[in-house]
């Protein structure tokens, strides 16, 4: 058994909501097994206020969260990545940089809560639904026996986890 910490990067276009939520959840649920990061292909430059509100309500520290470019993780000195997951369809379709470490990749698409139009309360509920969907996937992922699985099996598991939707999702 190794004590390796696996680096995982969550990508979205704006890096203001979904990828930030996934980063926080993975750092919480992966604890000593995962070190999570997030980035965007076209970062918004700030974390969405409802993302911050939700994360604070769930007892996450948010002072160090920031919207950043995926270029930071392709630059010299960036951490070698073991996994890269896209959480929005647009980022999944873009040509990604070359990541150090030849990571396993998968698409874990989730609805964009920042694009949801509705009352303030409905928008908050949307952010929570998306967070819960990502958190459920991350809990499953964090429970995998990484050291016992080969790269092909890990890739297959990661792809299957990305297909899991909320029970109340009409698309799921």
What confidence category does residue 155 fall into, taking pLDDT thresholds of 50, 70 and 90?
A: very high
Distance CA 16, CA 13 (A): 9
**What tokens were used for 76?**
């010299």
Spell out the domain ranges in the chain.
6-162
Active-site residue 12, yes or no?
Answer: yes
Give percent of the chain with pLDDT exceeding 70.
89
Tell me, what's the pLDDT at 170? 46
Q: Which one is catalytic: 96, 128, 156, 164?
A: 96
Least confident of 41-55, 82-96, 124-138, 139-153: 82-96
Residue 131 has a CB neighbour count (10 Å cut-off) of 23
Active-site residue 24, yes or no?
Answer: no
Q: Which one is catalytic: 11, 12, 52, 81?
A: 12
pLDDT digits (tens, 9 = 90+) for 89-125: 765 555 666 677 789 999 999 999 999 988 999 999 9
Average pLDDT, the chain: 89
Q: Which one is catalytic: 39, 50, 88, 154?
A: 88
End-to-end CA distance of the chain: 36
Please name the helix (run of DSSP H) or strand (run of DSSP E) that holds residue 167, with its range, or none. none
pLDDT exceeds 60 at position 138? yes
Active-site residue 96, yes or no?
Answer: yes
Q: Is 166 helix (H, G, I), strand (E, B) or coil?
A: coil
Q: What is the mean pLDDT of residues 69-80?
A: 90
Tell me, what's the pLDDT at 90? 64
Task: Indicate the CATH number for domain 6-162.
Answer: 3.40.50.2300
Tell me, what's the pLDDT at 47? 96
């Amino acid at each position: 058994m190794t004590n390796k910490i696996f680096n995982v990067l969550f990508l979205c276009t704006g890096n203001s909501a979904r990828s930030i939520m996934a980063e926080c959840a993975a750092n919480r649920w992966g604890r000593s097994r995962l070190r999570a990061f997030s980035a965007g292909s076209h970062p918004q430059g700030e974390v969405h206020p409802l993302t911050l509100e939700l994360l604070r309500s769930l007892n996450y520290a948010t002072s160090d969260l920031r919207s950043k470019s995926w270029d930071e993780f392709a630059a010299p000195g960036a951490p070698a990545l073991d996994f890269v997951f896209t959480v929005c369809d647009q980022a999944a379709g873009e040509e990604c940089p070359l990541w150090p470490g030849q990571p396993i990749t998968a698409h874990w698409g989730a609805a964009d809560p920042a694009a949801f139009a509705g009352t303030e309360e409905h928008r908050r509920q949307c952010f929570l639904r998306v967070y819960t969907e990502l958190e459920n996937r991350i809990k499953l992922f964090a429970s995998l026996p990484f050291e016992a699985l080969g790269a092909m099996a890990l890739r297959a598991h990661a792809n299957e986890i990305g297909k899991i939707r909320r029970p109340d999702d009409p698309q799921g």
